[in-house]
């Protein structure tokens, strides 16, 4: 069963009142940091993305990454949505980071071997576009994606495969394509220095009601378990806004993290890694 669909106005009213002044003034402790990313940025999700942007604004989060999909499911080529890309350029000009996130984000047209199915089982619903791609195929899609972004005036600094599932040799392929980092669920890999920065990613699932409820519980648990982690990541996805429980959990989790952590971004991590 899918979580109930709630219209944008209802969703926004359900969010607690703005508290950005509180968070921006909060005392941060030591070098505990938080990295925030919005996944699946595509005109197909424009309405849901607006809700996420407003949530980040409300919390006072100004530094975050947008993970762009140049042609979502082969039906939403960025170049055909000039208003959407103009907004992305505005955000990028304000310091928001642009990251390539697959080419089409699905597995249409790709062979799905038993090994592939086993590897992606439970991790994604046919969205592991790069999970089993050989390096040459991955490189073609990355180059095509970067060209699409550039044609819209957007320069990506890194590549994150859909569902964080990369095929063999992905790090090298991403580096050869001229990008500075990639990542998986466990951490960020800086490609010039070849450093892995351990940083677990918290994200929510809305594919099934029980998954949504489970991800809300896990997010709360991780807040406690990862209190001392130098760096944690939060990954927001557009469908998160369709479940009031998940959206509240996103807000609660970010709010709690911002009480103790400063917000960082990929550029800062890359600079530090050398
Ligand atoms: Zn994605």
* pLDDT of 27 strictly over 70: no
- Distance (angstroms) between ligand 1 centre and the Cα of 259 equals 27
pLDDT for residue 108: 78
- Distance (angstroms) between ligand 1 centre and the Cα of 28 equals 30
Q: Which domains does the chain have, with CATH numbers?
A: 27-273 (3.20.20.370)
pLDDT for residue 132: 81
- Distance (angstroms) between ligand 1 centre and the Cα of 91 equals 20
Q: What is the largest CA-CA distance in the chain?
A: 52
* pLDDT of 13 strictly over 50: no
pLDDT, tens digit, for every residue of 123-177? 667 788 998 899 999 999 999 999 999 999 999 999 999 999 998 899 999 999 9
Whole-angstrom Cα distance, residue 109 to residue 76?
Answer: 17
What confidence category does residue 52 fall into, taking pLDDT thresholds of 50, 70 and 90? Answer: very high
Structure-token pair, residue 175: 């580096």
- Distance (angstroms) between ligand 1 centre and the Cα of 8 equals 22
DSSP for 30-69, please give it: TT-EEEEEEEEESGGGHHHHHHHHHHHHHHT----EEEE-
pTM (predicted TM-score): 0.84
Question: Hunting for tokens 């550039």 — which residue is that?
Answer: 150
- Distance (angstroms) between ligand 1 centre and the Cα of 124 equals 9
Question: Hunting for tokens 């999909």 — which residue is that?
Answer: 69
- Distance (angstroms) between ligand 1 centre and the Cα of 114 equals 22
H/E segment holding residue 212: helix 209-225
- Distance (angstroms) between ligand 1 centre and the Cα of 68 equals 9
- Distance (angstroms) between ligand 1 centre and the Cα of 41 equals 8
Contact (Cβ atoms closer than 8 angstroms) between residue 55 and residue 258: no
- Return the exposure string of 167-185: e unless at least 16 CB atoms fall within 10 Å of the residue's CB, then b: beebbebbbebebbbbbbe
What confidence category does residue 7 fall into, taking pLDDT thresholds of 50, 70 and 90? Answer: very low
pLDDT for residue 136: 95
Q: Could you tell me which residues come within 8 angstroms of residue 98 by beta carbon, excluding any fewer than 6 positions away? A: 65, 66, 68, 88, 92, 149, 154, 155, 156, 157
Question: Hunting for tokens 């001229």 — which residue is that?
Answer: 178
What confidence category does residue 109 fall into, taking pLDDT thresholds of 50, 70 and 90? Answer: confident
- Residue with the bigger pLDDT between 3 and 209: it is 209
């Amino acid at each position: 069963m899918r979580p109930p669909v709630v219209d944008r106005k209802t969703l926004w009213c359900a969010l607690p009142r703005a508290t950005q002044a509180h968070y921006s003034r909060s005392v941060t402790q030591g070098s505990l940091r938080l990295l925030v990313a919005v996944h699946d940025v595509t005109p197909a999700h424009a309405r849901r993305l607006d809700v996420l942007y407003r949530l980040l604004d409300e919390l006072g989060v100004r530094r975050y990454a947008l993970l762009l999909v140049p042609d979502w499911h082969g039906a939403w080529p960025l170049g055909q949505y000039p208003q959407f890309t103009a907004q992305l350029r505005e955000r990028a000009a304000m310091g928001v980071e642009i990251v390539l996130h697959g080419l089409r984000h699905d597995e249409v047209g790709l062979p799905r071997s038993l090994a592939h199915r086993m590897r992606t089982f439970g991790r994604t619903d046919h969205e592991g576009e790069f999970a089993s791609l050989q390096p040459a195929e991955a490189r073609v899609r990355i180059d095509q994606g970067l060209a699409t972004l550039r044609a819209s005036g957007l320069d990506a600094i890194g590549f994150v495969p859909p569902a964080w599932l990369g095929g063999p040799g992905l790090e090298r392929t991403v580096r050869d394509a001229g990008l500075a980092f990639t990542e998986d669920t466990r951490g960020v890999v800086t490609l010039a220095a070849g450093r892995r920065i351990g940083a677990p990613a918290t994200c929510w699932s809305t594919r099934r009601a029980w998954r949504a409820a489970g991800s809300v519980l896990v997010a709360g648990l991780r807040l406690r378990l990862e209190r001392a982690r130098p760096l944690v990541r939060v990954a927001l996805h557009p469908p998160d806004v369709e479940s009031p429980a998940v959206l509240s959990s996103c807000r609660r989790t970010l709010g709690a993290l911002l009480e103790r952590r400063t917000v960082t971004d990929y550029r800062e991590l890359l600079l530090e890694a050398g």
